[in-house]
């Protein structure tokens, strides 16, 4: 169940960050409220997940998937360009989280 809460935290954080961009510097009140509410749900869900999942592992997964998700949304929704170097960086983040998770099972 902890990984369910971590998954919720990740996806709601992606919504929060996407709506933060769409809030246009907090000038759009509805989108600002969505963003703040989504961050609150994300952090609450993350705190529930941290009852079982080690904080380093949970945060690595949360931030990595969130980063990749936001990069994809920026590319698709906001037409932001991703250079080859950016894509390599994203792949390094993913590989790093996989390695971190593999190392967790050794002790």
Q: Which tops the pLDDT comparison, 86 or 5?
A: 5
pLDDT of 92 > 80? The answer is: yes
**Count of other CB atoms within 10 angstroms of residue 52:** 12
Average pLDDT over residues 65-77: 93
pLDDT of residue 106: 52
What gap in Å lies between CA 68 and CA 91, rounded to an integer? 9
pLDDT of residue 88: 94
Task: Give tens-digit pLDDT for 53-64.
Answer: 999 889 989 999
This prediction's pTM: 0.84
pLDDT of residue 105: 61
**Count of other CB atoms within 10 angstroms of residue 87:** 12
pLDDT of residue 58: 92
pLDDT of 50 > 90? The answer is: yes
């Amino acid at each position: 169940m902890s990984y369910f809460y971590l998954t919720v935290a990740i996806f709601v954080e992606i919504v929060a960050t996407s709506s933060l961009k769409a809030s246009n510097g907090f000038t759009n009140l509805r989108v600002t409220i969505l963003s703040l509410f989504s961050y609150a749900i994300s952090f609450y869900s993350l705190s529930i997940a941290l009852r079982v999942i080690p904080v380093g592992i949970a945060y690595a997964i949360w931030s990595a998937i969130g980063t990749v998700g936001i990069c994809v949304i920026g590319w698709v929704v906001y037409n932001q360009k991703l250079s080859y170097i950016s894509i390599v960086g994203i792949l390094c983040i993913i590989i790093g989280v996989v390695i971190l998770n593999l190392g967790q099972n050794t002790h």
